[in-house]
């Protein structure tokens, strides 16, 4: 295929921006960008512009933010762009069949996991929470299912032992852009080999909720340390101290704890250690509700002592 492809890009958050920029650096024209509508954010609830919209505006591209993909005006706009291919990266909604069938070459997706593992909205958080040592990016030909289409390309990377979801997301976003570029080249040369996903290897990665960050101190410290990494930056792992929420941004697991009940502060040193169901969780960086983020050792001075119980 030597002719240029007219590409429409669907994406919304920061993760999708490197993929959009990779397309803009290629030879195929990006003729329009679709992202989620602006939404209220922050304490003032002012309308926030999605990162992909900002990147598209900066590049001088037309931006479309439909509320409903099946609405006649949405389909009319997409059809008027006459795309050969739709590229999707973290758009935020499932594309209906009428949109999937619109471009002659179909729709391809940049997914932040090694499919068929971690299908769903939060693959990066679940991979860390489950203790995976490797993850990656999959370029998939989309169908009507949730991340069930044929695999076109996959690239793997290691997950760092202390890496948070926010840090890993940044690396996967850049990797996704490189793999997408390779996939577009493969479409042109006809060298991509689509492979069906192995359903027996499938796992799910449903959307994370704020309540998922609540710490149960009876769980093993290793599990809680992964939880802290998985939920940084959002929703953050949290417990209660003095009637207020205490967010835990950095922590690691260690042995010890003795016979102290789970949730009890057992040592205060460079940070402070909290007894769990097995071992201790050493808190390194915390933030009390309404206060700034602090190193745990600095926060501990006057705020906690050995014997303080968290979570009550």
**Eight-state DSSP code of residue 135:** E
> CA 202, CA 221: separation in Å to the nearest integer?
27
| Coil, helix or strand at residue 77 | helix
**Eight-state DSSP code of residue 124:** H
Is 89 within 8 Å of 140 (Cβ atoms)? no
Strand partners, 254: 280
Structure tokens belonging to residue 237: 């792992």
Tell me the C-alpha to C-alpha distance, in Å, between residue 290 and each of 183, 245, 263: 46, 9, 22
| Coil, helix or strand at residue 242 | coil
Q: What is the pLDDT of residue 221?
A: 97
Q: What is the pLDDT of residue 27?
A: 95
Cis ω before 272 (30° cut-off from 0)? no
> CA 213, CA 228: separation in Å to the nearest integer?
8
Strands (E), the chain: 7-11, 30-34, 39-41, 46-48, 63-64, 85-89, 107-111, 134-141, 151-158, 237-241, 244-254, 265-268, 272-275, 280-288, 294-295
Closest listed residue to residue 248, CA positions, set 278, 280, 220, 213:
213
pTM of the model: 0.94
Tell me the C-alpha to C-alpha distance, in Å, between residue 273 and each of 196, 215, 262, 285: 47, 15, 11, 12
HSE-CB for 291 with a 13 A CA cutoff: 17
Q: What is the pLDDT of residue 45?
A: 80
Structure tokens belonging to residue 145: 């299912």
Tell me the C-alpha to C-alpha distance, in Å, between residue 291 and each of 44, 49, 248, 312: 18, 27, 13, 19
Q: What is the pLDDT of residue 32?
A: 97
Mean pLDDT for each 10-residue chunk of the chain (312 residues)? 90 97 97 95 83 97 96 96 97 95 97 97 97 97 96 98 97 98 96 95 96 96 98 96 95 87 91 93 95 92 89 80
């Amino acid at each position: 295929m030597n002719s240029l492809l007219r590409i429409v890009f669907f994406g919304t958050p920061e993760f999708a921006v490197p993929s959009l920029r990779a397309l803009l650096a290629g030879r195929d024209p990006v003729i329009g960008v679709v992202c989620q509508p602006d939404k209220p954010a922050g304490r003032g609830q002012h309308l926030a512009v999605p990162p992909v919209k900002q990147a598209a505006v900066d590049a001088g591209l037309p931006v479309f933010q439909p509320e409903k993909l099946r609405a006649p005006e949405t389909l009319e706009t997409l059809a008027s762009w006459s795309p050969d291919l739709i590229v999707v990266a973290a758009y935020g909604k499932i594309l209906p069949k009428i949109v999937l069938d619109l471009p002659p070459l179909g729709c391809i997706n940049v997914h932040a996991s090694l499919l068929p593992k971690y299908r769903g909205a939060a693959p990066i958080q679940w991979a860390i929470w489950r203790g995976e040592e490797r993850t990656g990016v999959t370029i998939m030909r989309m169908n009507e299912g949730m991340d069930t289409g044929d695999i076109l390309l996959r690239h793997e990377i290691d997950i760092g032992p202390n890496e948070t979801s926010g840090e890993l997301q940044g690396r996967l976003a850049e990797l996704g852009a490189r793999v997408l570029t390779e996939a577009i080249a493969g479409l042109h040369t006809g060298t991509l080999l689509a492979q069906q996903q192995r359903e027996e290897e499938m796992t799910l990665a449903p959307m994370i909720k704020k309540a998922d960050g609540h710490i149960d101190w009876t769980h093993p410290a290793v599990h809680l340390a992964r939880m802290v990494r998985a939920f940084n930056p959002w929703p953050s792992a949290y417990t209660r101290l003095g009637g207020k929420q205490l967010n835990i941004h950095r922590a690691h697991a260690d042995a010890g704890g003795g016979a102290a009940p789970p949730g009890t502060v057992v040592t205060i040193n460079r940070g402070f250690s909290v007894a769990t169901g097995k071992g201790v969780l050493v808190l390194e960086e915390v933030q009390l509700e309404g206060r700034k983020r602090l190193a745990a050792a600095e926060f501990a001075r006057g705020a906690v002592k050995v014997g303080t119980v968290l979570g009550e």
